[in-house]
């Protein structure tokens, strides 16, 4: 499937903003975007995933598939996020078997949503 990795780029992750410095969500996006991405995975910035109390947040979504939102992330998690996103993109329905999920994907789920109706 063709999956999208959405990254909330406006998230401050509970930190004060520093003039001229990118916020935590923007730093996470940069860290992810700088890494090699599988062909069937697209990264996209999004302004606010409404997970402000559990930022930084990302989401994985694909047409006709379950979507997942994860939180309490930082730029240091970029490699693990990409590994998990690659596993997600390799499924036909968005459902990665539990035993194949890494710590972040097991412990930091904020929500999931069934495929959106057409």
61 binds a copy of itself (CB under 8 A): yes
Rounded Cα–Cα distance for residues 5 and 43 (Å): 5
40 binds a copy of itself (CB under 8 A): no
Closer residue to a copy of itself in complex, CB, 51/82: 51
Rounded Cα–Cα distance for residues 73 and 6 (Å): 13
112 binds a copy of itself (CB under 8 A): yes
Q: Show the tokens assigned to 29.
A: 């996006």
Helix (H) or strand (E) holding 7: strand 3-8
On whether the CB atoms of residues 35 and 79 are closer than 8 A, the answer is: yes
Evaluated on CA atoms 39, 43, 94, 101, the torsion sign reads positive
Closer residue to a copy of itself in complex, CB, 25/71: 71
Taking the complex as a whole, the smallest distance from the CB of residue 116 to a copy of itself amounts, in Å, to 4
Closer residue to a copy of itself in complex, CB, 22/115: 115
50 binds a copy of itself (CB under 8 A): yes
Give the one residue of 67, 73, 78, 85 binding a copy of itself; rule: CB under 8 A.
67
Give the one residue of 71, 73, 82, 96 binding a copy of itself; rule: CB under 8 A.
71
Rounded Cα–Cα distance for residues 54 and 77 (Å): 15
Closer residue to a copy of itself in complex, CB, 21/116: 116
């Amino acid at each position: 499937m063709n999956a999208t990795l959405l990254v909330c780029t406006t998230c401050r992750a509970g930190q004060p903003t520093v003039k001229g410095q990118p916020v935590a969500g923007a730093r996470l996006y940069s860290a992810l975007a700088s890494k090699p991405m599988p062909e069937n995975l697209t990264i996209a910035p999004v302004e606010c995933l409404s997970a402000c109390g559990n930022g930084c947040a990302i989401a994985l979504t694909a047409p006709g598939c379950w979507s997942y939102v994860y939180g309490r992330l930082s730029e240091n998690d970029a490699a693990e996020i990409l590994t998990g996103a690659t596993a997600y993109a390799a499924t036909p329905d968005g459902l990665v078997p539990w035993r194949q999920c890494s710590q972040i994907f097991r412990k930091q789920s904020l929500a999931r949503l069934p495929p959106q109706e057409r």
